[in-house]
A = this chain, B = another copy of it.
Amino acid sequence: IAGNFFGPQNNTYIRVSLPAVCFVWQIAMVILFGVFIRYDEESDEKGWHEFKRSHNITSNIENDFYFRYPSFQDVHVMIFVGFGFLMTFLKRYSFGGVGFNFLIAAFGLQWALLMQGWFHSLDPVTGKITIGIESLINADFCCAGSLIAYGALLGKVSPVQLMIVTLFGVTLFAVEEYIILDLLHCRDAGGSMVIHTFGGYYGLAISWVLYRPNLNLSKRLNGSVYHSDLFAMIGALFLWMFWPSFNSAITNHGAGQHRTVINTYLSLAACVLTTFAISSMGQKKGKLDMVHIQNASLAAGVAMGTSAEFMITPYGSIIVGFCCGIISTFGYLYVTPFLEKRLKLQDTCGIHNLHAVPGMLGGFVGAIVAAAATEEVYGKEGLVETFGLSGKFENRSMSTQGAYQAAGTCVAIAFGLVGGVCVGFILRFPLWGDPADDFCFDDEAYWELPEDEETIPPVLEYNNHMINKHQDTHESQFSLEES
């Protein structure tokens, strides 16, 4: 291994640890799913027939499946192609970017179904968790928290470490989500707080603990090439296009989903313009930076995660997008370098600017919009439905709701930071096969790489090459003889 040449190096040998973790955890999933997970009444064959009868439903189209499945598939694309390809931008870590994203999301969603089930839908009588299409969306959401954290760690950790990040990430997510959504009774359909703020600070805290002072040894690989930026653009665009589905996937049927889509769509469009503007202003010659376009133009989706389902109004959405494009691009231009230099915080993908800050912002925007909600605008039943003000929350005033929303944002930050620091220390045990400082951002560490692109000889060239080689030999012999 190259490490021998470059001097002391961490051992990236994962032939034992990775399979061990995968097998142990996957077997645990089999057992726990066997004990706990069942179909819910809308996906169970017998249950659905009974449900239709008891609810006096005549048409199968009333199955929640048809309200949510298109959004679910869009969210699924965001998780695997969106996040995955957004992380292919590094010139020699594209396999790791999209591949490890695939691995940890596939693990995370199983663990999420269990964790979220225990906290949200465990039947106290049967002791079972029942799942349906909404559970799958929530599981995908739950993974997103850990995938965001991966963004800060990209290129610097081993897949085994990522499995640990995900195991704890999903666990922490389920707890903070329970506190924010159930105990504080916040609304957060698109997860500005529970997904992005938490995931962002979780990743930043881990990265801070794992600070590598000599990371510049890998500097030559910490950047993009022309085509890797295009692959990343695939991820960025699928995230951008499907964000309306992300925010609306679990909002209320009818006007709720409808409005959330409109708000997110508008906000994202506005964000693109200010991102291009600041990106051009930020460079001496006025040239645009692909990093900004790929990332900052998404910040509006993050920031609308809480308030998109509220009556924020179309122009309100545009204003949020307007501001987010500016803030996020500024972040990439000035804050990320500052964090790295002063706070010893290495954030490969800049999740601070794309998730942590816009998420936090979105939480507070949501608080304000919630506090400003009136019966005049929402209608009586609309207000109850939108904010879930029934049961023991029946008498909560809107300003109280706003205060709880703000408190929820703080909970998300706290969980992210504290959880991240703890997990970071676990990851510092020298067992997990992470690469040495001079071997970061390099797929060579964990992937069998194909030979290099330059070595594809087209038939004729290959052939000519062979002839030339032959001639060269002759010539050099000749020149040797001559001399």
Contact = CB atoms under 8 A, between A and B. Distances in A.
Interface stretch (A230-238, A347-355, A417-425): A230-238
A244 to B, nearest CB: 8
Interface stretch (A131-139, A149-157, A402-410): A131-139
Contact of A43 (B44, B50, B69, B258): B258
A286 to B, nearest CB: 3
Question: Top 4 closest A-B pairs, CB basis?
Answer: A15-B286, A60-B254, A48-B255, A46-B379
A458 B449 contact: yes
Which label, helix, strand, loop or mixed, suits the secondary structure of the A interface? helix
B29 A270 contact: yes
A225 to B, nearest CB: 5
A452 B379 contact: no
B234 A30 contact: no
19 contacts: A6-B459, A23-B274, A29-B270, A30-B319, A48-B382, A65-B261, A69-B71, A70-B73, A73-B244, A99-B288, A106-B273, A136-B262, A220-B457, A223-B450, A223-B451, A226-B449, A287-B447, A288-B448, A452-B458
Given A386-B45, A444-B459, A81 B262 contact: no
Contact of A277 (B18, B245, B277): B18
Contact of A225 (B13, B71, B106, B450): B450
Contact of A110 (B47, B84, B269, B311): B269
Q: How many chain copies does the complex carry?
A: 3
A286 B16 contact: yes
A255 B42 contact: yes
Q: Give the residue among A61, A230, A278 with the most B Cβ atoms within 10 A.
A: A230
Interface in A284-324: 284-290, 293, 297, 311, 313-315, 318-319, 322
A110 B289 contact: no
A215 interface: no
Interface stretch (A86-94, A195-203, A335-343): A86-94
A265 interface: yes
Interface in A108-157: 109-110, 131-133, 136
Nearest to A63: B254
